[in-house]
Chains A and B, each alone.
Chain A
Amino acid sequence: MTTDKTMDKRSSAFEYAPAPESRSVVDIAPSYGLFVDGEFTDAADGKVFKTVSPSTEEVLSEVAQAGAEDVDRAVRAARKAFEKWSALPGSERAKYLFRIARIVQERSRELAVLETLDNGKPIKETRDADLPLVAAHFFYYAGWADKLGHAGFGADPRPLGVAGQVIPWNFPLLMLAWKIAPALATGNTVVLKPAETTPLSALFFADICRQAGLPKGVVNILPGYGDAGAAVVAHPDVNKVAFTGSTGVGKEIARTVAGTRKKLTLELGGKGANIVFDDAPIDQAVEGIVNGIFFNQGQVCCAGSRLLVQESIQDELLDSLKRRLSTLRVGDPLDKNTDVGAINSAEQLARITALADQGEAEGAERWSPSCELPENGYWFAPTLFTGVTQAHRIARDEIFGPVLSVLTFRTPDEAVAKANNTPYGLSAGIWTEKGSRILAVANKLRAGVVWSNTFNKFDPTSPFGGYKESGFGREGGRHGLEAYLDV
Chain B
Amino acid sequence: MYSRYARRYARLVTMPTNAPTAAHALSDVAASDGTLRRFLHGLPGVDAVGLEARAASLGTRSIKTTAKAYAIDLAISMVDLTTLEGADTPGKVRALGAKAVHPDPTDRTTPSTAAVCVYPDMVAVAKEAVAGSGVKVASVATAFPAGRAALDVKLADVRDAVAAGADEIDMVIDRGAFLAGHYLKVYDEIVAVREACGTSARLKVIFETGELSTYDNIRRASWLGMLAGADFIKTSTGKVAVNATPANTLLMLEAVRDFRAQTGVQVGVKPAGGIRTSKDAIKFLVLVNETVGEDWLDNHWFRFGASSLLNDLLMQRQKLATGRYSGPDYVTVD
Contacts and interface: CB of A to CB of B under 8 A. Distances in A.
A and B directly contacting (CB within 8 A):
yes
A3 B70 CA distance: 21
B264 interface: no
A375 interface: no
Contact of B62 (A1, A3, A7, A19): A19
A316 interface: yes
B231 A1 contact: yes
A128 interface: yes
B64 A17 contact: yes
Contacts of B49: 453-454
Contact of A16 (B51, B61, B111, B202): B61
A206 B125 CA distance: 71
Contacts of B4: 282, 313, 316
Interface string A440-460: 000000000000011000000
Interface stretch (A105-113, A160-168, A283-291): A283-291
Interface stretch (B27-35, B90-98, B269-277, B297-305): B297-305
Contact of A282 (B44, B61, B285): B44
Given A4-B134, A7-B73, A284 B202 contact: no
A315 B136 CA distance: 41
A279 interface: yes
A217 B285 CA distance: 53
B45 A281 contact: yes
A6 B114 contact: yes
B50 A287 contact: yes
B318 to A, nearest CB: 19
B3 interface: yes
A475 to B, nearest CB: 24
Contacts of B64: 16-19
A5 B112 CA distance: 11
B298 A5 contact: yes
Interface string B1-21: 101100100000000000000
Given A14-B74, A316-B4, A284 B294 contact: no
B63 A16 contact: yes
B47 interface: yes
Contact of B44 (A124, A280, A336): A280
A294 to B, nearest CB: 13
Interface in A411-459: 433, 453-454
A376 interface: no
Contacts of A260: none
Given A6-B299, A454-B49, A14 B77 contact: no
B65 interface: yes
Interface in A101-125: 124
B294 A14 contact: yes
Query: Which of A2, A7, A9, A316 has its CB near the most chain B CB atoms (within 10 A)?
Result: A7
A7 B67 contact: no
B322 interface: no
A370 interface: no
Query: Which of A6, A280, A287, A327 has its CB near the most chain B CB atoms (within 10 A)?
Result: A6
Query: Which of A1, A14, A18, A280 has its CB near the most chain B CB atoms (within 10 A)?
Result: A14
Contact of B111 (A6, A18, A128, A283): A6
Nearest to B7: A312
B74 A7 contact: yes
A90 to B, nearest CB: 36
Query: Which of B7, B47, B67, B285 has its CB near the most chain A CB atoms (within 10 A)?
Result: B47
A5 B74 contact: no
Contacts of A284: 46-47, 50-51, 54
Given A9-B74, A17-B67, A124-B60, A281 B294 contact: no
Given A7-B299, A281-B47, A282-B44, A14 B62 contact: no
Given A6-B77, A284-B46, A453-B47, A17 B66 contact: yes
A188 interface: no
A186 interface: no
B267 to A, nearest CB: 11
B44 A14 contact: no
B15 to A, nearest CB: 14
A398 to B, nearest CB: 26
A12 interface: yes
A6 B134 contact: yes
Contacts of A327: 290
Given A2-B202, A13-B294, A7 B3 contact: no
B50 A7 contact: no
Nearest to B66: A17
A453 B52 CA distance: 13
A337 interface: yes
B45 A433 contact: yes
A19 B286 CA distance: 15
Interface string B279-302: 000000100011000100111100
B167 interface: yes
Contact of A17 (B53, B68, B136): B68
A372 interface: no
B255 to A, nearest CB: 10
Given A6-B77, A19-B64, A316-B4, A13 B134 contact: no
Nearest to B115: A4
Contacts of A280: 44-45
B140 interface: no
Nearest to A316: B4
Query: Which of A1, A17, A327, A336 has its CB near the most chain B CB atoms (within 10 A)?
Result: A17
Given A3-B300, A5-B298, A5-B299, A283 B44 contact: yes
B46 A283 contact: yes
Interface string A115-150: 000000000100010000000000000000000000
A36 B202 CA distance: 73
Nearest to A21: B62
A10 interface: yes
B205 interface: no
Given A7-B111, A128-B60, A337-B62, A283 B134 contact: no
Given A9-B297, A10-B294, A280-B44, 5 more contacts: A15-B67, A16-B62, A283-B46, A284-B51, A316-B3
6 contacts: A2-B202, A14-B74, A17-B68, A280-B45, A284-B54, A287-B50
Q: Which 10 A-B pairs have the closest CB atoms?
A: A284-B50, A19-B62, A336-B62, A281-B47, A433-B45, A284-B47, A17-B67, A282-B44, A17-B65, A14-B289
